[in-house]
Structures are given as C-alpha cells and as structure tokens.
Amino acid sequence: MPEIQRGQLHKMRSRLDNPVAYFMVLGEETVALNSLIGEKLTIEFLGQINCVHCGRNTNKSFNQGYCYPCFQKLAQCDSCVISPEKCHYDAGTCREPVWGDEFCMQDHIVYLANSSGLKVGITRASQVPTRWIDQGAIQALPIIRVRSRQQSGFAEIIFKRHVTDRTNWRAMLKGDVDEINLEDERDRLMELCEKELEDLVHQFGLHAISILNGVSAVSIDYPVQHFPEKVTSLNLDKDPRIEGTLTGIKGQYLIFDTGVINLRKYSGYQVALATG
C-alpha cells in the first residue's frame, strides 16, 4: 500500500465546518482526513513510543502520551486537571505555576452539550469549539463564563447534581442521538441551581462569574458515511496493524468498517499511515 505519512501520533486537529474538517497529526506533518473517507486505510504501529512532552522512549504511555516520569511530575498530569475544583494554584503548591498561569488562571466556559444525551462540561474559553468536537457533541451551548479553572469546577459540581458530566462513547459513535433544546435545558437548570450559583457569585464576585444570556446553541455535523451498528474497539497494543475502509470520523475516533479507534489514546506512538 502507498504510504501517506509516518511519525509520532498526536490527537487529531479539527476545524468547525460543515461537516467538521479533520487532520491527522504525525510528527510535524498533518494529513487531511475528510477526503480519505471511503478509502481503505492502514495504520501500523512501528513499535516505538515517545513521550509527547520530553520525547524520551517509553515502553508504555501514561495519560495519553506521557512517559512515567513526566506523568508523575507535570502539572498537566495532576489530579486537579480531572477534578478542577481541587486546583491548588492559590495555595502556592502548583507544580508548575507558569503552566498554571497559561492553562488554569484563564477564562473558562461552563457549557451544556449533547454527545450521547445532555451533559455539562467545562473548557478553556480558547478551546471553544474544539472541546465540543473532541467529545463528539452534535450540539453545545455556553452557559457561564468564569475567570479560572477552579471556579469552573465549582460551577460544574453544582450542575452535576442534576445532569451528568459523562459521555457514553459507544452511543455517541452509533450516531443515534436525538437533538435536545439546549436553551430550554439551560433555563431549567439555571432555575434549579439559582441559589447555589448566587452563593458562587457571592464567593468570587460578580467580575468572576458571568451568566451568558442570549447565546444560541451551536450545531455540529461530522463527516460520517456510515455509523457502526456495533461498536468494536481497535487496539494498536494488541494488533499493531489496523486495516479497513474509513467510513467516518467523530470526536477523536476514526470509524472503520472493521471497528473504531480513539487516536488520542495513542498519542506518542510512532505510526505509518497508508492507503490503497
């Protein structure tokens, strides 16, 4: 098969379009993927994994691309990234304050999305709409803007008492997700959480917690010819050579007629992409 590109795999880049435009990242090069839908592709793991942060060889990838030493020491691998309400930047104990300035002490958006049903989520303002695309959301609606990641975590906890923060990835990939009136859901949740949100504003100040009124939901369409009836995961660790006809892309998943693969999971892997 003719080889298209090889290099260190990273999460796919995307651009909000109709449908979403996807690009596979291999080292310093990118490969436009939408035009390859309908083609037979091969992804081959070349037997080497390099840390996405320091570049050292590693036998196993941790936290989607890091070697174990980086996984242990980097702020971006700390538990507060998963649970932002645990952010300890203000306590002066952040492992990397400069990183914290850039990624945590920035405006964040609390949003509602529809990936496999209604969910609440948070992301840096600069990551809108990339975060929604990465989750395979077909709809998304920003509802609150805050001044830091920790504040977004506190707001998310309030909403999580009434709505999940999880995506059922199998349902998302099957494509059988009904549209939701996110504006109505926003109004319902704002009413349910009114007292707790007022307390949050009182704690951090009006300048820190901004309710976003008059914002419309975003609809997102994905380049998918055929959704799988049964979702079967493809695993480069178990089968270093994955082959099949690419039938679509959604979230960070490539959908083949032979199964699906989450490319972000294999960040740091050296792979070759071929077609034909």
Q: What is the pLDDT of residues 57-110, one digit of tens each?
A: 999 999 999 999 999 999 999 999 999 999 999 899 999 999 999 999 999 999
Pairing outcome for strands 108-114 and 269-275: unpaired
* 220 contacts 214 by C-beta, under 8 angstroms: no
Residue 73: predicted pLDDT: 96
Q: Helix-strand-coil percent breakdown of the chain, rounded to 5?
A: 30, 35, 40
Average pLDDT over residues 129-142: 98
Average pLDDT over residues 243-252: 98
Is residue 258 over pLDDT 90?
yes
166-188 residue pLDDT tens: 999 999 999 989 999 999 999 99
Which one, of 154, 146, 160, 158, lies nearest residue 85 by Cα?
154
Q: Is 110 exposed, middle or buried (0-12, 13-18, 19+ CB in 10 A)?
A: buried
Q: What would the two tokens of residue 2 be?
A: 């003719």
* Helices of type H across the chain: 68-73, 79-82, 97-103, 130-134, 149-160, 169-174, 182-192, 194-204
Q: Tell me the C-alpha distance between 33 and 26, whole Å.
A: 12
Q: Tell me the C-alpha distance between 183 and 167, whole Å.
A: 20
Q: Tell me the C-alpha distance between 63 and 97, whole Å.
A: 21
- Our CA dihedral for 165, 129, 127, 267, rounded to 10 degrees, sits at 80
CB neighbours (10 Å) of residue 17?
12
Global model pTM greater than 0.75: yes
